[in-house]
Structure 1
Amino acid sequence: MFPSRPWFLIESTIKSHFTNRSDVTILLEMKRFDLEFRVLLAMAVANGIGESSIVPLIPAIRDDLGLSPVQTGLIWTITTLAMLVAAVPVGYAANRFGSRWPLIVCAALMPLALVAQAAAIGLPGVLAARLLFGFSFGILWVIGPARAAAGNRGAGGTGPLIAAAGIGWLIGPVLSGAVADATSWRTASAVVALLTLPIVPFVYRFAAPRLVGEHVDRLRPRAAFGLVRRNRTIAGAVLVSALLGVVGGASNVLVPLALDAEGLSAGQIGLAFGVTSAVWIASSIAVGRLRESVVNLRGIGIVVAVLASIWLLPALRPTAAAFLLFLVVSTSCRATVNALNYAVGVRSVLGDTAPVVVGVLNLAWAVMALISPLLAGLAEGSSSVRIAFAVTGLVAAAVALVLLGPRLHFRTARAVSSVGRAGDS
């Protein structure tokens, strides 16, 4: 059936008039675009469950395998390494060949990686499993934001996508923590694998094939990096992505270990992260309803300033209550910045080049998220944890000052067509 809402018919008629294409063909494409968005939302939920499920398991994995602080940080770092490797190539492949098969591969890797995690022998096995999951994560978060923000949806698309991932984070830690308390971290990993398995046939059935004759921009990854130099908006978005890598990587290592030191069990840690995910969902949905006039780097800078201040709280008062308050506020800030930053980055270029540009943003995130868990893993004892929180807060404050500085009255950069031509050369 065609979409039943009357404005679909009106819009298709208008597009048909100005493009000399059949309004029936346009209606089919609009239906395909709407279905594609729902597929992306379902994948974001499943990926969020798989990604977050390991958070309450980290102390148990550390104790079971006898890991050092640096080895514990590697569990997060290896996932990021996969994003680092995949970021730009996946964006280019999606631009060049369409998103259907990359999304199918992404869906299949999720349960496969979690089964491998459950059966892992020693640290190398856990790292190999997390590397596999990282490839799935990387594929989704290159293609997902670019397609969600397309069709003039902007933050109205990236906001719900980030919120869908938040639903996964609401389920994953609570489920895996409860199962781990009752059984073991290996059983918890297997249960989460079963939960994400249905996404594979769903994506295979509904992920839309590339349309015959569909235009694909030929922007090369090298030209995408050139955009960072030429386009101040993209340069600012890359800086913000790098900061998100710092705060995300550090938070996912420091907070579970700090709460474990305060005497919380795996189930309680999972519950804490699960509850804060409700904040993530609410914040992401709120971003989707913001006026376009506030979807810019200056608006992001204001949120980053709040994020910087909350990172200083555990440094000044390292108690369980302070950590929980930190989780709530920082989660809201990260969700808001995530959704806004993707929307700003995608809006600053032509729509067809968006997957490659999102790949560059994710590359910046991955580089910093690769380093920060290792550095955070070195923090042993309350004094070192306090220093780690303080340093991260100061880094966020520096980024906020750059974004809010007088030079950052950013304009959308020049048309990207010239860059695209450079990429083809």
Structure 2
Amino acid sequence: MDPSSLAKLLSPEGWALVNALPPYDEDRAMALATRLRAEGVDPDLAAAALTQSRLRAKARAKLGAFADGMLFTPDGVEQATRLVVAALHARRYLAAGVTKVADLTSGIGADALAFAGVGLQVLATDVDEATAALATVNLRAFPEAEVRHADGLTLDLHAEGVDGVYADPARRTRGGKRIFDPAAYAPPLDAVWALRAQVPALGIKVGPGVPHAGLPADAETQWVSVDGDVVEAGLWFGPLAPAGPGRSALVLRSTAGTGQGDGATAPGTVGRTLRTGPDDVDLVPDVGAVGGYLYEPDGAVVRAGLVAHAAAELGGRLVDRTIAYVTTDSPADAPRPGEAALATGYRVLDVMPFNLKKLKAYLRERGVGSLTVKKRGTAVTPEQLRAQLALSGDAAATVVLTRVDGRQHVLVVEPLGA
């Protein structure tokens, strides 16, 4: 965001306008822009306000109602931590006894918002002046939070009274390309890791694709998913990793609540953590024939390399040593109240070697016109397969394309509870 647009938005007229706009509707945006110009609103201000309206609507999925009082950049929305995950970050620091957190790469302030919201003192910095200004606006309701336009790595942490550090290094180029080399993060990952010598309570958000090779041996590396979407990996050091070093997966699922009345509950989130220490990460799973049930481990479990541990939890075995599908002969135990499932379950209806002609005949006999295709360990694309099958009919089916004992198979399944 350029400084002139920000200045206009922060004027009394601009702030009133952006907060008075109706909920963003892409189909009506052009008509609304035309109306604002006809009413004499400065064209640049109108454009900036409409952009904020659009970004607020997009950010609501991550930040809920907080988004309606915040200002954003497109990159800021993309990189912002979901509020439910940021709240868990904040709880780590509280549980570790931290009182003041330095957020070295605050962006638009999503994590700093969660830190301040639980009563932690926060010193937030960003190297981009406009982004730091937006964070200042977004944290205006929290006297516990101070925002500076600065390079967080230059802070004198001890002089600032900081006893906890958090960083979310930029993992994309200015052109938007994803960066996979941790040395090319901004700031470089090694430079942030080194801060644990000054402040042991160090947390770093990294991309979920971070390779296992080279992960620091003294960190808990936790992959997090929200409703099946793997959103981040986090490196937690010292008192922020009370269970000790190792790898873990945190699976979060949204709940819809239980309706109205005295026993009603509000929408919320349930979770489940699967964890392993440095001495047992090489658990060797059982491998065997496809049973009556198939389970697809959550993406965070897969990314954390804990599929064998999930199989043990589910009381099952892998269909192939290289594939993240677990099979059981009877249904796995349902999650306990307040816990999320580590895997999505299916009832297995049929198993057959992959043969396009036979699969086409199988589906035609059953009148299948709508096909859900899941796959692991095969080069076949769902779109290409559907085109080749030339489906017609009123029935729906789900198939899993995968390897079973090294050979391509088709598993016809139905979701548990269907």
TM-score tier after normalising by the smaller chain length: under 0.3
Which structure carries more helix by proportion? Answer: 1
Q: Which protein has greater RCO, CA pairs closer than 8 Å, 6+ apart?
A: 1
TM-score calculated relative to the size of structure 1: 0.27
Larger Rg: 2
TM-score calculated relative to the size of structure 2: 0.27
Which structure carries more strand by proportion? Answer: 2
